[in-house]
Structure 1
């Protein structure tokens, strides 16, 4: 159960010139997606050449252990997809298969899925949220004998329920500290809806960094949005109309920075010469903006892997893992 394969599906994908998803489909013998025989043979050939440890299983009858990941909702562009991808890889390396179910916040549907999983060879269940959040998991407590862990969410009322989440507080502190080190003294913060735990933690980290630097937490520099870039556009314009405008803006998501870029351009404010700018969650678009956007790369890959390994290693401790991300400094914040 604990043996790790030295060669991963990522390695095979790079060598074969295909995506990891394609490698997964071939090695899992999926026939739901039409792949050419040439592609299947190329993947198997590369896996053989690299000495992939699980290759013999491709032609063997499979009754593998399963790990189920139940997620409330999922978008392909969301950085949380990295957690799912790495969880799948970790499950495969631990001789299990990851099955993903999207239940759309329908608790009864999720409980019905769990009841079906109890009839199968299921190692455990990961209850996941694409947005870091505090959750009431009382509906799930005691509903199954299968082990449960939380991914990207935690339940303060269930201290024994293991959880794996990113540290939004530390990440926001890190971004704000970077802008201060780059010479900013009036840093604005455009955030999401205030009821969200992710928004509250990012705001708290931003404020803590300012306090540590001996700067006031000016409420006029904070703007709440509903995560839409048209709202961040309006928020940016309102910040520019202040008697003393900011010299840096920290947006609580890369998506919000799109509206910010547009508003600054229309007002002839140059990035980074006139305004430093940083985002959050390091989506693919961050490198494609002009100038490229400084952002925080969230540790979703690591968290997804750790959640799976916790179940595969049959841990029973009340584990609560909180990981900070990595600051990716780009031209938007460096003069």
Structure 2
């Protein structure tokens, strides 16, 4: 029987992706029958002969069922977590850990597949997942950016973390970068600072553009004019933060506070301030962004903005189960969902020192 189906398949024009309709056509049954067989429903309404015919047709077409195993069947549930990089920054792993924990609480295994932006590796990783029944897939990016999903995933529940698709055909969970930057500036202006510098990442990155926009909004809210001379590009690195801080301290009128778009740049900022014989926050205040694990261990501990990776990981898994169960719609994400980036207040911010000239 399987050989006959395979021979019939060879005479048909191959499509880009097999559908349930294709399986029904090849097996000579209705689409409803295919659904009952592949989703293991329908009970005795479908004969074993028909079930076998449908399964062989699905196998011949390479059709996969993107649903969980039925409750009580003992089948393994899986959730795919595709990410471009999981080693460069330990903060990203917070999303993975939170997703893994919530998936396991729902009796599913999170399958994490780093792809290093390699398209062939990503395709192979997806084929590995295709061999299992999955609740859905999470696509995550190391830095916020526009993403292109493989067309073959149009039938599987997908949610994105820290990335989005043009036109937003798939739900995306993103950090509210601009709002977080505005919060940082507001914290400094509330402390009395008026001359606030900003060390940003490269301008081509979405996070850089958003955080610059939030910085400007924070200044405007406090009635402070934007001054481009107080903005530097530090490319997210410790050395970049160090060199930019040295430039800012060399200005005829240096800033009283520096907001860094990443904690790594803030560490470099700390070093440059201390090399200049200045103190934090006595002479100059510093705020970072990310809440890197090292931030709390600096001296003084760094005030920073938290990127909510754990929350994003949990919300992604919650979304997939809400979509699958068609129950409580409050967990379903639609369009782009921006998650607040709250202030983590520590000891690196104080009032500006009064200058005494002469």
Q: Say whether the fold is shared (TM-score over 0.5).
A: yes
Which of the numbers 345, 354, 357 marks the counterpart of 1:329? 345
> For residues 265 and 221 of structure 1, what CA distance do their matches in structure 2 show?
20
Paired position in structure 2 for 1:201: 210
- TM-score of the two chains, using structure 2 as the length reference: 0.73
Shift of 1:117: 1.6
- SS for the counterpart of 1:333 is coil
Q: After superposition, where does 1:35-50 map in structure 2 within 5 Å?
A: none
Query: Structure 2 CA distance, aligned partners of 1:318 and 1:327?
Result: 26
C-alpha distance in structure 1 between counterparts of 2:255 and 2:273, whole Å = 12
Q: Note the C-alpha offset of 1:313.
A: 2.0
Are 2:101 and 1:66 equivalent residues in the alignment?
no
8 Å CA contact 1:190–1:250 kept in 2: the answer is yes
Q: CA contact under 8 A between 1:65 and 1:122: conserved in structure 2?
A: yes
Task: Give 1:134 shift.
Answer: 2.3
Distance 1:186 1:141, change over 3 A: farther
Which residue number corresponds to residue 216 of structure 1?
225
Contact 1:111 1:143 in 2 (8 A): no
Distance apart, 1:128 and its partner CA? 0.5
Alignment partners' CA distance in 2, 1:176 and 1:310: 33
Q: Which residue of 1 aligns with 2:272?
A: 263
SS in 1 for 2:151: coil
Give yes or no for contact 1:296–1:325 (8 Å, CA) kept in 2: yes
Give me the whole-angstrom Cα distance separating, in 2, the residues matched to 1:183 and 1:298. Answer: 25
Cα-to-partner distance string for 1:166-200 (whole Å, 9 max, x where unaligned): 10010000001000101110100011111110111
Whole-angstrom CA distance in 2 between matches of 1:136 and 1:290? 38
Q: Corresponding residue for 1:247?
A: 256
Distance 2:171 2:151 in 1: 12
Spell out, residue by residue over 1:273-318, the C-alpha distance to the aligned partner (whole angstroms, 9 max, x if none): 1101110111111111111110112211111001011112226763
How do residues 1-335 of structure 1 correspond to structure 2 at under 5 angstroms? 63-75=75-87, 77-131=89-143, 133-137=144-148, 139-143=149-153, 145-155=155-165, 157-314=166-323, 318-335=334-351
Number of residue pairs aligned between Structure 1 and Structure 2: 273
In 1: Cα distance, 2:310 partner to 2:223 partner: 35
Q: Measured at CA, do residues 319 and 65 of structure 1 come closer, stay the same or move farther in structure 2, by a change above 3 Å?
A: farther
Q: Say if 1:141 and 1:170 are closer, same or farther in 2 by CA, change over 3 A.
A: farther
Q: CA deviation at 1:112?
A: 2.4
Can you give the 5+ residue segments of structure 2 that lack an aligned partner in the other structure?
Answer: 1-71, 325-331, 352-358
CA–CA distance in 1 between the matches of 2:95 and 2:87?
A: 12
| Superposition deviation, residue 143 in structure 1 | 4.1
Q: Which runs of 5+ in 1 are unaligned?
A: 1-59
Instruction: Decide whether aligned partners of structure 1 residues 110 and 158 sit closer, same or farther in structure 2, where only a CA change above 3 A counts.
Output: farther
User: Which digits, 9 at most, give the CA deviation of each residue in 1:144-177, with x for residues without a partner?
Assistant: 522221111112x232211111100100000010
Q: Which has the higher contact order (CA 8 A, sep 6+)?
A: 1
**Which region of structure 1 is more displaced relative to structure 2, 298-307 or 225-234?**
225-234
Tell me by how many angstroms 1:320 deviates: 2.5
TM-score scaled by structure 1?
0.77
Deviation at 1:86, TM superposition (A): 0.4
In the aligned structure 1, how far is the partner of 2:191 from the partner of 2:168? Answer: 40
- Root mean square deviation of aligned Cα: 1.8
